[in-house]
Amino acid sequence: MTTSATRSPVPRDHPASPAARGADGGRHRTSLFTRLFGRQPIGILLAAPYAVFIAVIFAFPIGFAVYMSFTDYYFTAPGVTVPHPFVGLDNYKTVLTDPAVLASFGHIGIFLILNVPLTVALSLGLAVALNRAVHFRTFFRAAYYVPYVTASVAVVAVWLVLFRSDGLVNQILGPLAPDPSWLVNSTWAMPMIALFVTWKQLGFFILLYLAALQNVPKELYESASVDGAGAWRSFRSVTVPGVRQATALVLLLAIVTGANLFTEPYLLTGGGGPDGASTTPVLLMYQQGIQQGKPSTASAIGVVLVILVLIVALVNRRLTERSER
């Protein structure tokens, strides 16, 4: 039984690995060379296009955004020079004491709590089911993928109609329908967005899991069943560990997508929702940075958001990689 097949990153720096020899032969030259460029310097060459891409496209805007967050900055036409005084942490102070900004971070928190577990559970479950079902498999796969593919603008219009106070959903629910209807209800607005985004993005994550499931060897399932494991036990002991890498990716992407939510609150709840109950940090960044011409505070919000997301992502990484060593 090939046990190592599903175990992921075996460290490549095996002490016995002959790859340490590199392009040349001598050991003394290897150490200096290796120290300068790493054990497989060909990697620099292979990764160079991607690295250059990042440097050329994103380094300037991201660096500039960080720079703006520490100054009093606004965009000007070329040739127009205005002072951009360094203001230290003032923008951050303004932003972190603004109740609207804090509320928007709270809304994202609610969103993530609802969306992320639901996404992981549903997408894994559906991927497992779609990997198995025989009849109509193509139809099912397409059905779950279609919302992901459709442009938000149009699909939002349909949801707006479905969830109006006289819409289909309320007509079915009858007396159970909430009184300010779903999308204009301060309590329900953000959960509705969470539901919408889960529905819309599920196809993406199902796809990730489907691909990962292809690499779980059948022998594991067979040996599990030989050992007398039922379907659920098999799922827990074979499938879930087998797709751990994919789960880590799904978690990361779900968190990042959720934290950067902009289009859905903008479209679904008319730019901020009932009394600002569904604002998000990126929505505020758009309003302040692009509409109101205050990119410095917008960048401060952005930097805070990025830091928070990185922290959450790193925590997530720690949790999912604990058994890898």
Partner 1 sequence: MTAPRTQEGHGSEQDTDRPVPVVVAAVGQGQRWRRFLVMGALFTGAVVFLFPFYYMVVASLQLSPNLTVGGAFPRPGNLTVDNYIQINASLNLWQSLLNSGIFTGGVLLGTVVFGVLGGYALAMLHFRGRGVLFSAMLLVLVVPFQLSMIPLYVLIARDYGLGDTYLGMILPFAINSTAVFIFRQYFLQLPSELFDAARIDGASELRTLWSIALPLVRPALLTAVLLTFIGPWNEFLWPFLITKQQAKQPLAVSLANYISTVQASTANPYGSILAGAVVLAVPAVALFLIFQRHFVSTDLGSGVKG
Partner 2 sequence: MRPSRPSRRYRHGVAAAVLAGAMVLTACGSSGGGSTSDAASAKGPIKIWYSNNEQEIAWGQQVVAAWNAANPNEQVTAEQIPTGKSSEDVIGAAITAGTEPCLIYNTSPAAVPGFQKQGGLIDLSSFADGTSYIETRTGELAKQYASADGHYYQMPWKSNPVMIFYNKDMFTKAGIDPTNPQLATYDEFLATAKKIVDSGAAPFAIYPAPSSEFYQSWFDFYPLFAAATGGKQLVADGKSQFNSPEGLAVANFWKQIYAEKLAGNETHTGDSFSDGTAAMAIVGPWAISVYKDKVNWGVVPVPTAGATAAEQIHTFSDAKNVGMYASCTNQGTAWDFLKFSTSQEQDGQLLTLTGQMPLRTDLPTTYADYFAANPDYKLFADQAARTVEVPNTPNSVEIWQTFRDAWTSAVIFGKSDVQQTMTDAATKIDQLASQT
- The residue with tokens 């934290």 is 259
Site residues for partner 2, 52-111, by CB under 8 A, read 55, 58-64, 66-67, 74-82, 100
Task: Please tell me the distance from the alpha carbon of residue 142 to that of residue 140, in angstroms, as a whole number.
Answer: 5
Q: What is the CA radius of gyration of the chain?
A: 25
Question: Residues binding partner 2: what is the number (CB under 8 A)?
Answer: 53
Residue 86: which residues within 8 A CB-CB, separation 6 or more? Answer: 70, 71
Q: Which is nearer to partner 2, 72 or 235 (CB)?
A: 72
Site residues for partner 1, 303-322, by CB under 8 A, read 305-306, 309-310, 313
**41 is a contact residue toward partner 1 (CB under 8 A):** yes
**31 is a contact residue toward partner 1 (CB under 8 A):** no
Region binding partner 1 by CB under 8 A among candidate stretches 82-90, 92-100, 185-193, 228-236? 228-236
Task: Using CB under 8 A, pick the residue from 180, 187, 219, 223 that binds partner 2.
Answer: 180
**160 is a contact residue toward partner 2 (CB under 8 A):** yes
Q: Which is nearer to partner 1, 275 or 315 (CB)?
A: 315
86 phi and psi angles, rounded to 5 deg: -70, 125
Task: Please tell me the distance from the alpha carbon of residue 291 to that of residue 287, in angstroms, as a whole number.
Answer: 5
Q: In 3-state terms, the chain is what percent helix, strand and coil (to 5)?
A: 70, 0, 30
Q: Which is nearer to partner 2, 191 or 274 (CB)?
A: 274
Task: Please tell me the distance from the alpha carbon of residue 304 to that of residue 319, in angstroms, as a whole number.
Answer: 23
**249 is a contact residue toward partner 1 (CB under 8 A):** yes
Instruction: Tally Cβ neighbours within 10 Å of residue 265.
Output: 27
18 phi and psi angles, rounded to 5 deg: -75, -5
**153 is a contact residue toward partner 2 (CB under 8 A):** no
Which residues here bind partner 2, judged by CB under 8 A? 11, 55, 58-64, 66-67, 74-82, 100, 157, 160-161, 164-166, 180-181, 183-184, 186, 269-276, 287-288, 290-294, 310, 314, 317-318, 321, 325
